[in-house]
Chains A and B, each alone.
Chain A
Amino acid sequence: MTIKIALPKGKLLAETAILLAKAGWEMDGYNEGLRNYRVKSARFPDLMLKVFQEKDIPIQVAIGNYDIGICGLDWLEELTSKYPASAPIKIRDLGYGKGTLYLAASGDSAKMPSLTSLLSKSEIVRVASEYPNIAESFILNLRIKRFNIYPVWGAAEAYPPESATLALVAGNTDEKLFNNGLKSLCKVLNFSACVIANRKSWGQKDLSDILATLEKAKTEKSEIKMPEKVSAVKHFSIVAIDKDTVRIALPDGHQQKHTVELLNRAGIKLDDYPSPTGNRRPISNLEGVFIKVIRPQDMPLQVANCNFDLAITGRDWVTDHLNSFPSSPVQELADLKLGWVRIVAVVSKDVPADNIYDLQGFYAQNTAPIRVASEYVNIADKYARDNHLGMYRVIPTWGATEAFLPEDADLLIENTETGSTIARHNLKIIDTLFESTARLVGAKNKEYSSIKKARIDRIVGLLSKTVSK
């Protein structure tokens, strides 16, 4: 029986590659330049090895798609704190990729809450985190009376104090200060990379050869160099926000380049954006404006919650948000005509279907549910529902979704610019759901002061005019 192993991409990749080299696996294709998600081991040619986002690995192992996985304990805990019944077994701590999860708040002494003050609070405690399940379980155990969890795709440290009370963030062990002036209130979890196994595989399959080589590599003297600590930005100015201040969210990541160009063309100058030190509060030449840099995926929810008045995000993420919350006040104010992609339905080339109707027919007799993998869970869910896919299951992913077909999913809802990545992975597009570009978004039916309204209108006007030039 083939043994299936899920390997991490991202921050654990380099050290995992070193580990596997020491274990004598003679890996082919598993390196920083990763081109294909299927990789090979010359020592164990029969293994099926696939590369995933670290966050997806515990889920893949828990549901039994993979027997063994390597990922951080933090992501294992994120799964098991909510779903203890299906928990994979942690077999071995690998000693690298170390860090700690902290519950942190703004270090600004006037606003810094203590744990005791949070417990006695009757107002809502808002927590932003990439680890919503760990956050919820921790908050419940603290017996905080009323709380909201904002699950975010990233940049949780940017949220307190303006957009959340607390952030559950990962940092180096014994770190006290975090980027953007956060201070730790308490430790939540120490983590490092570990080997995990599916409960059933552990009990029934012979995984001994694989595990023995990993054990040996682990016990050899480690020459793995730990990555250097990223020095935290300790200064930044907390801008006083009043009722006239316009709060704007700008995207981090690869959207920054386009965004800066557009803002420059509109005459809006920004200091420290993109920031080499990870500063998330750039200063602009606009009067009465507060800017924060967060993930575009998280913006619609933040605008709906009145944490921001304006944001630049993709139509894809606005659509995903509105599919989940149809009566949300989020609306598009302008098409910024940047970052064009189309959102497509993708299947393996081997599936005899060229459109969604063929696909319905192909799966009509199926007794197992159709597995739809996507970063856009709500778009995927609505698409499956609207197209009568019958019994289906949406698998949330955190990127590298192409890796899921054909073994671990049947249909993907993905974004693509040229379609070349899709073709390279032996996949094909059977439907285009819609086209997406960057949009300026705001909230409907909000009553602003006349000064604030004028400021918002001016920014919307500036950007719209620049785009239409």
Chain B
Amino acid sequence: MRVQKCKGTRDLSLKEMTQFRLIEGIFRDSCLKWGYQEVRTPTIESLHLFTSTGTLTPGTLSKVYSFLDWDGWCGERVVLRPEGTIPAVRLYIDNLADKKLARLFYIINTFIFEETGKENREKWQCGTELIGAGSTYADVELLTLSIEILKKLGLEDVELKLSHAGLIRALLTGFGLSVEEQGKVFDQILDGNVAVLARLKSQTPELMRLLTPLLDLKGKTPGFLRNLKAVFNQNLPEFTPALDNFLDIVDLLENIGQKYQIDIASGRGFEYYTGIIFQLFVGKTKVGGGGRYDALIPLMGGKDIPASGFALRLDRLMNIVKASPQIEQGPENVLIRFVNDGVKIVKEAYEIADRLRNTGFIVALELDNENKSEFDWLIEMKSTAPRFTIINQLNKNKLTAKTSEEVLKITGERK
């Protein structure tokens, strides 16, 4: 009986793993060069880590994989981590709180139920968190790093979309919603229901004139934001701090020549964000995003420390990044075969294999069902002369050798 894999899961087979490691490698390498350090959090966390901050929407929380552990008789459940930032922040508070500035990165899987089973329920992401820096330079550092990584992966046409959580919240205050109602509407926007904003617009026509341009704001220049600021300064001063912050970031991006789009109503999936929100697209595929979440650390019981971060969707990148020919080729590989007396010469075979590996070859000793044509070199060994036959399958050369030193010399000459 064949047992099928679970709905919504994905095998990473030979080709996919090559892609996976390529992306992971480039991400890791870039992060390290920018001074970020790697961490990893456990797959299982307490459910209340995610409910207690009040920052994940009920919509997200109703899709987490939570269950009672074998000692969970108290009724408190554990969860397969649904996202990476909250655990990373917990790790920071638990282990690194003495570091005033922490640049962290991680490569993890996350788990969220998806009804149809056609999308992955287990996702992989490359994440970074920049904890302790509140300036717009920190936001721009993350933006630049994320785009650099995508470029190194060979993705040139990366589209950057910007929004601002502070501005969305100010907007909801502008609509005259109570704190409670604001929370509800914000939850819905975060769950992807943008229609709720349109409904609000029709309920408060007097504000509509002012706020509609902001809702529908999709533009490329800071001019838009400046115009808005000019209007709102008079009418709705609560918008000013968020708008100023947004303008500062946009100015910096202009100065470093980074292209972007502004799309205010695209807040989906950014539950705990307080400032800039950015999303990265390649064509229509969203490959990553991030932003500023200054309120999260104090909410989780840490000090009042600002923070921001981003995550790249490793599983989506795997589908669009073209494998680099370098990786696909890899080092040459060797198969060592015993012609006779295997038991006697196995020790010597292991020694040769070890020395060849140290010079950069991939070496296998022949087992049942070995496919010889997959190897660049064959070394046939026996206990009698000529001890070694070396076949270069790439150029069909065939040579013999008496000692292992000669074998190494022959294979070494190929370089």
Chain B 42-67 near chain A by CB (<8 Å), digits 1 or 0: 00000010011110001001100000
Q: Which 3 A-B pairs have the closest CB atoms?
A: A148-B75, A304-B73, A146-B48
Q: Which residues of A contact B76 (CB under 8 A)?
A: 124, 146, 148
B54 touches A145 (CB 8 A): yes
Looking at A195-203, A247-255, A318-326, the stretch in contact with chain B turns out to be A318-326
Q: Is B302 an interface residue (CB 8 A)?
A: no
Q: Is B412 an interface residue (CB 8 A)?
A: no
A391 touches B3 (CB 8 A): yes
Given contacts A325-B72, A328-B73, 13 further A-B contacts (CB under 8 A): A85-B115, A122-B52, A140-B58, A140-B61, A145-B48, A145-B51, A145-B54, A146-B76, A148-B75, A324-B68, A324-B70, A325-B68, A325-B73
Q: Is B74 an interface residue (CB 8 A)?
A: yes
B contact patch SS: loop
Contact of A143 among B54, B68, B115 (CB under 8 A): B54
Chain A 132-167 near chain B by CB (<8 Å), digits 1 or 0: 000001001101111111100000000000000000
B75 touches A84 (CB 8 A): no
Q: Which residues of A contact B51 (CB under 8 A)?
A: 140, 143-147
Tell me the smallest distance from the CB of B118 to a CB of chain A, in Å: 12
CA distance A328 to B69 in the complex (A): 11
Q: Which residues of A contact B183 (CB under 8 A)?
A: 143
CA distance A324 to B70 in the complex (A): 6
29 pairs from A and B in contact (CB 8 Å cutoff): A84-B115, A85-B115, A137-B62, A140-B51, A140-B61, A140-B62, A143-B51, A143-B54, A143-B183, A144-B51, A145-B48, A145-B52, A145-B54, A146-B52, A147-B48, A147-B51, A148-B74, A148-B75, A148-B76, A149-B75, A301-B73, A304-B74, A305-B73, A305-B74, A324-B73, A326-B70, A327-B71, A390-B1, A391-B1
Tell me the smallest distance from the CB of A361 to a CB of chain B, in Å: 15
CA distance A176 to B58 in the complex (A): 28
Q: Which residues of B contact A301 (CB under 8 A)?
A: 73, 75
CA distance A122 to B301 in the complex (A): 11
Q: Which residues of B contact A147 (CB under 8 A)?
A: 48, 51
Q: Which residues of B contact A304 (CB under 8 A)?
A: 73-74
Q: Is A367 an interface residue (CB 8 A)?
A: yes
Q: Which residues of A contact B3 (CB under 8 A)?
A: 391
CA distance A383 to B157 in the complex (A): 57
Known contacts A146-B48, A147-B51: does B58 contact A141 (CB below 8 Å)? yes
Contact of B58 among A124, A143, A321 (CB under 8 A): A143
CA distance A365 to B18 in the complex (A): 38
B62 touches A325 (CB 8 A): no
Q: Is A452 an interface residue (CB 8 A)?
A: no
* CB nearest neighbor in A for B3: A391
Q: Is A126 an interface residue (CB 8 A)?
A: yes
CA distance A326 to B53 in the complex (A): 31
Q: Which residues of B contact A325 (CB under 8 A)?
A: 68, 70-73
Chain B 332-352 near chain A by CB (<8 Å), digits 1 or 0: 000000000000000000000
Q: Which residues of B contact A324 (CB under 8 A)?
A: 68, 70, 73
A367 touches B1 (CB 8 A): yes
* CB nearest neighbor in A for B69: A325
* CB nearest neighbor in B for A301: B73
Q: Which residues of B contact A390 (CB under 8 A)?
A: 1
CA distance A126 to B74 in the complex (A): 10
CA distance A391 to B70 in the complex (A): 22
CA distance A301 to B76 in the complex (A): 12
Q: Which residues of B contact A146 (CB under 8 A)?
A: 48, 51-52, 76
Q: Which residues of B contact A126 (CB under 8 A)?
A: 75
| Most chain B CB atoms below 10 A, which of A84, A126, A148, A326 | A148
Q: Which residues of A contact B61 (CB under 8 A)?
A: 140
A150 touches B75 (CB 8 A): yes
Q: Which residues of A contact B58 (CB under 8 A)?
A: 137, 140-141, 143
Q: Which residues of A contact B54 (CB under 8 A)?
A: 143, 145
* CB nearest neighbor in A for B72: A325
- In A100-133, which residues have CB < 8 Å from any B CB? 122, 124, 126
CA distance A239 to B115 in the complex (A): 48
Q: Which residues of A contact B53 (CB under 8 A)?
A: 145
CA distance A304 to B68 in the complex (A): 14
* CB nearest neighbor in B for A303: B73
